[in-house]
Amino acid sequence: MITLRGFDELKRMDRACAIVHEAIDAAAKAIAPGVTTDELDRIAEKVIRDAGARPAFVGYRGYPKTLCVSVNDEVVHGIPGKRKLVAGDIVGIDCGAVVEGYFGDAARSFPVGKVRPEAARLLADTREALARAIEAARPGRRISDIGAAVEEFAAPRGYGIVREFVGHGVGTALHEEPQVPNYGPGGRGPVLKEGMVIAIEPMLNLGTSRVSIQRDGWTVKTQDGKWSAHFEDTIAIRDRGPVVLGMGQLERLASAVSA
């Protein structure tokens, strides 16, 4: 069942997403050679708890940490620990927070210092894929139009588009209906309606799209060992189009409507 959210609910989710972005930004500022992924996790947890929220990932299906920190060929769900970042790495930071029972979820991927050109392009192109997917999320269109926008952009550039892990609805649970694939064809699935809230999260690989879950039961890696990037935003479908939560867009929209 897909739940349509009212504006008061969206305000809580907007606050949760704002805290998520604050936590990601704080962790990103600490990214440097020699920093451990667990240090990034502790920074993010402090930001979330100091804001009066709670980390969404801790305890989710037994997950032990605030962040998922995925390095190089790790696609998603890397568990923070003693691993030290190395100059030239790329690192994905995925974070969630809960405010008054409502969830926010977002992810960004970052370079560790200067990275090789193909890694820099991967980061830029995955960010662009997310932007195009968000632009496609308009009322009256269908869920698969979002993934079709990702595939239309990423496939001609030779990227492997991860299929086993997809975006999802967000609300009073971290994962709700509908699922939001990162591939087409378009014109399929539920119609996008005002009040729907979804997390869109393209994952692009430099090589194959195929991935494997590691022995820890969480970390997902590319099967060919080539690098991956991950960007994610939680968006609300509004009558005028998609609104990225946690970035001030909802507040500006409310001000414009009341003016």
What is the per-residue DSSP string for 193-242? -TT-EEEE--EEESS-S-EEE-TTSS-EEETT---EEE-BEEEEEETTEE
Give me the chain's average pLDDT, please: 96
- Span 123-141, average pLDDT: 98
Q: What is the CA radius of gyration of the chain?
A: 17
- Phi, psi (degrees; rounded to nearest 5) at 104: -130, 150
- The reported pTM is 0.96
Structure confidence by residue, pLDDT tens digits, 153-187: 999 999 999 999 999 999 999 999 999 999 999 99
**27-81 confidence digits (pLDDT tens):** 999 999 999 999 999 999 999 999 999 999 999 999 999 999 999 999 999 999 9
Give the span between the Cα atoms of 31 and 90, in whole angstroms.
Answer: 10
Identify the CATH class of 7-258: alpha beta
